[in-house]
Structure 1
Amino acid sequence: MVRSAFLAAFLALSTLICLPAPGQAVEEEVVLGLSQDRVAITADFDGSEILIFGAVKRQSPIPEGPPLEVIVAVSGPNSPVTVRRKAKRMGIWVNTESVIVDSAPSFYAIATSAPFSEVISDTEDLRYRVSIARAIRSVGAAMNIADAQDFADAVVRIREDEGLYSLRENTVAVDQQTLFRSAIDMPADVTEGHYAARIFLTRAGRVVSSFETEIDVRKVGLERFLYGLSREQPFLYGLMSLAIAVAAGWGASAAFRLLRNN
């Protein structure tokens, strides 16, 4: 009864857009739903959880063989990142070398229905760039820089420590190889922009179907106004900030003077 109710509610709410894997016959397709496709960043925003749920549409019975596995990957806006290496020179830590990582997502979360190495092969991972390491693109570095890959690894390590990159194995629930669901937690310091949500269906490590949609993450209200003002009219924003600082200082001084007199 519960399973039937869930499926009925899902079919009523989800967007029926299905994309087969390139070059593959349409045998199993993704039908996806999101609990929300827009995240509003406000003054008291402390993170958000997005429920991702879906079903597998088939024109024939469930294929025999390895079970169906599901991968959910949500990535934030990509941008270049400058990574610097520090070294100790004459007792002082200084920047010695730097590498520009050409493209790194501001946020990247992967949820899988089984251990990552079991749900997708290395060849398919290379093709679809699913893993965190392959989602980061670093075209090249100067020839005199040793261990250039360490700079891309540093981006991953730092953002994992900040909760911006994560791999969550065994967190996608798959019911009877037909229904699946998972939840992606977004931290409070997410970057504004369009987030790509990709879903992959795999069997024996091979991608049999994929789906992609967008989640819009935007500042709203006063935060949106101040952000736009700082970008579009920086001089006016600076004057306003100065006026607020002067008013706050004068107010604090007046309050302390009043308390001293009393």
Structure 2
Amino acid sequence: MFQVLPPEPPPQSAPEIVIERSAATTEEVRVAAALTDARVDVDSGFRGASIVLYGAVFNPSDTPADVVVVVRGPDAPVRLVKKTRNMGVWLNSRPVLFEGAPGFYMTASTRPLSDIADFGQLRRLGVGVDHLRIDAPEEARTVTRYGVRDVVISRLGEDYLDWRRAVIRLKEAAALYDTDPKGVEFVDRGLFRAEVKLPAVAPTGKYYAEVWLFQEGAPVSVSNLTLTVEKVGLERDIYEFAHRRPWSYGVLCVLLAAMTGYAASRVFRSR
């Protein structure tokens, strides 16, 4: 007995896949970026970290573009003293306090910033250590902290620029501020990378990265990223205890020091 089978359907060709670029990619110049690590854990064995920032430049035009990377760490007060000579004796001046300066600041670019944009653009954006915004009040005043009177520096004061340069110089010496005019490298057409090096003394907290794209001296696009540097383990517990209960932490440190000194004296006395 034979069974009549229905005719086989005609072979169908595979559907044609059309890849369409977004309108923003085809019409606008823009930059996109990311970090290899968005979190850095700090423990007793922390010796610094190196993070790669990578991205792509979408540039449908023939005008060349430059990439500038700015990484800024959490702000914190900066207390400075200056050596002054008084009657032949060098003494410390009254402490000067900046209310807020970045704990970490790094710029990397495809070429020197002065070749990418003019002074006004860089100052308006706060790009570059020379244009770094360090918080200071409009008028100088004094505050008392832990029994010591500090002079809070004023941005209108005559010595503001000198103190500001001192902050930058000390941060650079500690490898917390860095400027690399060739730190952004194009590894392929439109693809770039930059390395963010955090020293062992890098402060904990939120870091903010800005990736600027410049064309003909003007910013045309920016990509914003965040990075978290956080203590972990026993170090974090001690840090939180010290900041939440400073008096208890101080008393405990004094007791531990006294007990250690007493134990050491007993050991050396028995010998």
TM-score bracket for the superposition, by shorter chain length: 0.7 to 0.9
Percent identity among equivalent residues? Answer: 32
Contact 1:118 1:204 (8 Å CA) reproduced: no
**Which digits, 9 at most, give the CA deviation of each residue in 1:1-22, with x for residues without a partner?**
xxxxxxxxxxxxxxxxxx9xxx
User: What stretches of structure 1 move > 6 A for 4+ residues in a row?
Assistant: none
Whichever residue aligns with residue 173 of structure 2, its letter is D
- Structure 2 partner of 1:31: 32
Taking the aligned partners of 2:117 and 2:41, their CA distance within structure 1 comes to: 33
- Structure 2 partner of 1:131: 128
**Which digits, 9 at most, give the CA deviation of each residue in 1:112-159, with x for residues without a partner?**
111121123222212211111322234545599544311111111111
Within 5 Å, which residues of 2 pair with 1:109-120?
109-120=106-117
Taking the aligned partners of 1:189 and 1:102, their CA distance within structure 2 comes to: 20
Contact 2:209 2:226 (8 Å CA) reproduced: yes
Taking the aligned partners of 1:177 and 1:121, their CA distance within structure 2 comes to: 26
**Which of 230, 238, 242 is equivalent to 2:254?**
242
Taking the aligned partners of 1:102 and 1:257, their CA distance within structure 2 comes to: 50
Taking the aligned partners of 1:153 and 1:141, their CA distance within structure 2 comes to: 19
- Structure 2 partner of 1:149: 161
Aligned residues: 233
Q: CA RMSD in A?
A: 2.7
What is the DSSP-based 3-state SS (H/G/I as helix, E as strand, rest coil) of the residue aligned with 2:90? strand
Within 5 Å, which residues of 2 pair with 1:1-262?
27-57=28-58, 61=60, 63-65=61-63, 67-96=64-93, 99-137=96-134, 138-140=136-138, 142=140, 146-257=158-269, 260=271
Contact 2:71 2:105 (8 Å CA) reproduced: yes
Whichever residue aligns with residue 128 of structure 2, its letter is S
Normalised by the size of structure 2, how large is the TM-score?
A: 0.76
**Which digits, 9 at most, give the CA deviation of each residue in 1:163-197, with x for residues without a partner?**
11110111211245511101011111111111111
Unaligned runs of 5+ in 2: 1-23, 141-153
Tell me which structure has the larger Cα radius of gyration: 2
Normalised by the size of structure 1, how large is the TM-score?
A: 0.78
Unaligned runs of 5+ in 1: 1-18, 20-24
